[in-house]
Amino acid sequence: MEKVKTLIIGSGPAGYTAAIYAARADLKPVVYEGLQPGGQLTITTDVENFPGYPEGKMGPEIMDDIRQQALRFEADIRTGMITKVDFSKRPFVCTADDGKIIEAESVIIATGASARWLGIKGEDEYSGYGVSACATCDGFFYRGKTVAVIGGGDTAAEDAQYLAKISKKVYLIHRRDELRASKAVQQRVFETENIEMVWDSVPVEIVGEQQGFVKAVNGVVVKNVKTEEQKTIEIDGVFVAIGHNPNTRTFREFVELNEQGYIKTIPGTTKTNIPGVFAAGDVQDPNYRQAVIAAGSGCMAALDAERFLNENR
């Protein structure tokens, strides 16, 4: 059994930033990177809204930069997952996927949230080449172009409005004949001239073209759920806005979650209902889901953990 001061579960901007601050505070953090080392930014191509990169940079490169910075301060970053936790008493007992058992005086959960995808043909093929789950991250690349948003809730409606300010035209594709978004948000959508509703329709395929190594979306095939009729809508990009799933399954027996399944934290902190257990990044953020905010909360979590350990020696 290994004993550590601070165990960080998950990587990405939150986990790696927590590792930087925890290592500099001599907490000797151990980081388990999880299924997707580097988080969602590793499946993003050009990133132009993360501070410090004036010319933009590929998502995987940014995450590797932050990872290398954590390693510079001697954070112990490990490939693997934490598959079981016992937060009923301190030190907390956590089990890795290789069977290794770790006793941790403090734990930072930074497992993120995974976008829900459609699971249709072409979605994986064009992911990062015209298919995105983040309008605020990637909308800039579609200035003056035509895009589609898939979904009918507040997120989809807000994404459509955001993109309408940038793009020439936005198709909002929804499987029903009315939106699930709040009435005020719906009204703004209907009043936006360059948003066109595509009712009673589901996407069945994302199509595009490839020239050499360059891929590009040029259409989405939709099916009317009432008539079964199919048609292709010509677009330059698709934004999937059907929600996210916070990666909290391992912790839900102990940590308090909100109705959406995100970890609840005390406002203004990263503290959970378990003293000594902290949550940072998208796993506790259903609203913003931005890398820079995740990084900031990772910093907060490390500072909260340091203060907790100082107070509970």
Q: Of 138, 159, 282, 285, which one is the catalytic site residue? A: 138
Active site (annotated) includes residue 94: no
Phi first, then psi: give them for residue 10, nearest 5 degrees.
110, 160
Reduced to 3 states (helix: H, G, I; strand: E, B; else coil), residue 299 is helix
Q: Please name the amino acid found at residue 155.
A: T
CA–CA distance, 136 with 289 (Å, rounded to integer) = 10
Active site (annotated) includes residue 76: no
Reduced to 3 states (helix: H, G, I; strand: E, B; else coil), residue 7 is strand
Straight-line distance from the first to the last Cα atom of the chain, in angstroms, rounded to the nearest whole number = 20
Q: How far is CA 91 from CA 106, 119, 250, in A?
A: 7, 41, 17
Nearest to residue 92, comparing CAs of 75, 107, 110?
107
The residues with which 182 forms a beta bridge, in sequence order, are none
Q: At what angle do helices 59-72 and 12-24 cross, to 10 degrees?
A: 20
Active site (annotated) includes residue 138: yes
Reduced to 3 states (helix: H, G, I; strand: E, B; else coil), residue 220 is strand
Q: Of 94, 134, 282, 304, which one is the catalytic site residue? A: 134
Element housing 17 (H / E): helix 12-24
Nearest to residue 22, comparing CAs of 2, 35, 4, 1?
4
Beta strand pairing call for 57-58 and 46-47:
antiparallel
Reduced to 3 states (helix: H, G, I; strand: E, B; else coil), residue 207 is strand
Q: Are 174 and 149 in contact (CB under 8 A)?
A: no
Query: What's the distance, CA 122 to chain centroid?
Result: 21
Contacts of 244 (CB under 8 A, 6+ apart): 113, 114, 115, 116, 133, 282, 286, 289
Active site residues per annotation: 134, 137-138
